[in-house]
Structure 1
Amino acid sequence: MHDHAAVGLPLGFTLLRLLLLGSVTAVAAWALVRPFVPAAPGLPARRAVTGAAALGGIAVLLAARASWMPGPAAVALIALLVLPSVPRGRHPVLGRCVAAGAVLVTAAAGAWFAGPPSSVAYVALMAAFTGLAWLALCPPAADVRLAGAALGLVLLTGLGHVTIAGRLDAPAAGDPLLTRVALRGGPVDVLVVPHMPGWNLVHTGEADLRVGNAPTALVPARRLPAASGRWALVWLPRGRGDLWLDRAGERTTVVVDTGDGAWTGPDVRGPEGPDYASAVLAARLTGARGDVPWPELTDADAAALRAEVAAMGGPFAIASAPTGRAAQAERVVRDEAARLGVEILPAADETLVLAGEVGDGRPAPWLAPPDLSTPDGRRYARALADAFPGERPTASGLAAWTGTFANPQAAEPAPARRVVG
């Protein structure tokens, strides 16, 4: 189901992150030390600082994926970062004016063109890099030193913010994504399956949320039959981007990276999507990547269904759905009923449920609550409660937790999805 070649952080993004960290360290250290050094910095030092600030500012622009910033504003920002390296000698008036103007214009542009919630920290980093690139042209007057020190602190603060918020991390491309974000009212757990280009299931807890791939494309996360928590379908484009979450007007984003491959498994929009997501979640809790087979009818399931038909003895109805596993199960049930001479009547008092909510019917094995009395069952329940509070344990989840997926009864198992490095 996976057919791409990307593991962990993309190399380009890793280099970009290293460039940003190095630039912040060098420029902020120079800005913070300058007030305590009486001698004026020489031309080589000034050029080194302006160059590092220019590289850092451009790295921030790329790391931010600042599609929320109009093209002319991005071009102007790049120009303001590069130009300080051009002038020769000292230009104190030009340096001070441009430094102040660049900071104000950059900050105003970022505030005016409402970007994602993380844009404030990115704008602060861009403004600080721009200001320090120009301040390096000025002689070390007291006001210049203090302004530089203040911008150095802004650099460190902005870097700390985007680092703590996970903005400098990228999820493994194309792997199911499990994360936790902070929103009004408390943390929110988020599962994105399959986390590949196209339609994705976004699963959260019971919080009343809206999710989407853009602030103008938010849809409510809703409850689904026979599944805990809330669910939404979101179309994600290829590559790295943002998943938006909104609760009561407060918004945040989650970094996603769907990679370049295509999901070749069954449509996650179908009725078995949540059950598959439950197995993916359990697999992720074991430390695995989350590559699990799509739900299929197993030999054990088929044997349990035959035993249910024999136990009923009299007429019964079938509640099914147009899914692969339910169709396989229905064939097994009808064949066994025919062999035993048991009638299947739509109006019968008893119902064998093969898909959806169980209600008063008898559940198929994969719809029944799993046995949590075993050591594995207890560990699975505890891990699930810690990682995704409120999530209901499932038979598929327990099978993924223990790695005991049996061979399908009516079809070959879906191949394990691998990423080839």
Structure 2
Amino acid sequence: MHDHAPVGLPLGFTLLRLLLLGSATAVAAWALVRPFAPAAAGLPVRRAVTGAAAFGGIAVLLAARASWMPGPAAVALIALLVLPPVLRGEHPVLGRCVAAAAVLATAAAGAWFSGPPSSFAYVALMAAFTGVAWLALCPPAADVRLVGAALGLALLTGLGSVTIAGRLDAPAAGDPLLTRVALRGGPVDVLVVPHMPGWNLVHTGDADLLVGNAPTAMAPARPRPAASGRWALVWLPRGRGDLWLERAGERTTVVVDTGAGTWTGPDVRGPEGPDYASAVLAAKLAGARGDLPWPELTDADAAALRAEVAAIGGPFAIASDSSRRAAAAERVVREEAARLVVEVLPTARDVLVLGGEPRGDHLAPWLHPPDLSTPDGQRYARALADAFPGERPTGAGLAAWTGTSADPRAGGGSPARRVVG
């Protein structure tokens, strides 16, 4: 189903993250130690700090993917970061003035321009790097030291904020994404399937949420038949990006990385999407990547349906949906009904449900609740309750858990996936 790009943290982003972490640590440490260091600190050290601050500020700009910042503002910021290492000698007045202007202008830009919820931390990092770069050109007077120390503290605070929020991490590219975010009213669990370029199914808990790929493209997550929680369809472009979530007026973003591969499976917008997502969730909880077969009719399913037709014995109706599995199942059911000379009547009292909301006594095998009395079933139910509270166990999920569990005590294997009919 997947044509994967290399999995894991991309090399370019890894280097960018290391550059940001290293430069922020070095610059912040120098700025915080400077008030307590001898006043006659050498100019070569300060010039090295301006260079580290320039690299760090540019790394922040790249890591932030600051499309929310107008082009001229980004160019001006880069110029302010690059100019201090180029200047020679001490420039106390110029350094003080430009540092103050850069910090104020960057902070104002962050407050004015509409960016993601993480933009404030990125703006703090950009402003602090710029301010320290220019203050390093000034002799270490008392006011320069104190302002520099404040900017060093801002560097560490901003770095801690984006690190804790996971902005310096990247999910496995092209692998289904399972994460948890904080929003007003409590944490929200999020599953993105297949987490590849194109249409993606976003699954959350029961809370009212808006989901989208941009703050101007938000849509409500809604319930789906025979599935717990809420679901939304979001188009994701290639590579790293943001998935936007909103609840009760508060917004946050989830880092996504769809990679450069191509999803070759069926359209996740179809009715089988939630069942597939349930299996993917179980596989993720068991430690697997989540590459699973699309739900299809197996030989065991077909045999169970034939037995159900024989057990009904009289006229029955069929309730179905537009999924490929339901269509294949209906062909099997009608063929068996014709062989047994049993009428299929839309008005019959007995209904054999092949898709949609499970109701009544005659259900297709995949619509039955899973058997959670076994050791595997109990482990699956506990893991699901811990990782995705409120999620209902499914037969597809239990089969995926049994077939992929890393627990050596788990037995069984994945069922054969052969299309029938």
The answer to whether the 8 Å contact 1:192/1:203 transfers is: yes
Report the counterpart of residue 285 of structure 1 in structure 2. 285
TM-align CA RMSD: 1.1
Shift of 1:43: 2.3
CA distance in 2, matches of 1:95, 1:409: 72
Q: Are positions 1:407 and 2:416 aligned together?
A: yes
> 1:343-382 residue pairs with structure 2 within 5 A?
343-382=343-382
2:170 counterpart letter in structure 1: A
Q: In structure 2, the residue corresponding to 1:366 is in which secondary structure?
A: helix
The answer to whether the 8 Å contact 2:173/2:258 transfers is: yes
CA distance in 1, matches of 2:199, 2:5: 20
Unpaired segments ≥5 residues, structure 1? 413-421
The answer to whether the 8 Å contact 1:284/1:290 transfers is: yes
The answer to whether the 8 Å contact 2:201/2:232 transfers is: yes
CA distance in 1, matches of 2:40, 2:256: 46
TM-score of the pair, normalised by structure 2? 0.96
CA distance in 2, matches of 1:277, 1:40: 63
Moved over 3 A (4+): none
CA distance in 2, matches of 1:411, 1:154: 63
> 1:123-138 residue pairs with structure 2 within 5 A?
123-138=123-138
CA distance in 2, matches of 1:40, 1:348: 95
2:369 counterpart letter in structure 1: P
Unpaired segments ≥5 residues, structure 2? 404-412
CA distance in 2, matches of 1:132, 1:409: 64
Identity of counterpart residues, as a percentage?
A: 85
Q: Deviations over 1:45-77 (max 9, x none)?
A: 111100000000000000000000000000000
Report the counterpart of residue 93 of structure 1 in structure 2. 93
Report the counterpart of residue 250 of structure 2 in structure 1. 250
Report the counterpart of residue 217 of structure 2 in structure 1. 217
Report the counterpart of residue 417 of structure 1 in structure 2. none
The answer to whether the 8 Å contact 1:317/1:344 transfers is: yes
- Number of aligned residue pairs: give it: 412
CA distance in 1, matches of 2:419, 2:53: 62
Report the counterpart of residue 390 of structure 2 in structure 1. 390
> 1:318-333 residue pairs with structure 2 within 5 A?
318-333=318-333
Q: Deviations over 1:252-309 (max 9, x none)?
A: 0000001111111000000101110010101000011111110011121111111111
Q: Deviations over 1:221-276 (max 9, x none)?
A: 00111110000011111110000000011000000001111111000000101110
Q: Are positions 1:315 and 2:293 aligned together?
A: no
Q: Deviations over 1:312-332 (max 9, x none)?
A: 111111111222111111121
CA distance in 2, matches of 1:296, 1:359: 21
Report the counterpart of residue 208 of structure 2 in structure 1. 208
1:357 counterpart letter in structure 2: E
Q: Deviations over 1:110-155 (max 9, x none)?
A: 1110100000000000000000000100111111111111111111
> 1:132-147 residue pairs with structure 2 within 5 A?
132-147=132-147
Shift of 1:81: 0.4
The answer to whether the 8 Å contact 2:302/2:420 transfers is: no
CA distance in 1, matches of 2:153, 2:420: 61
Shift of 1:394: 0.5
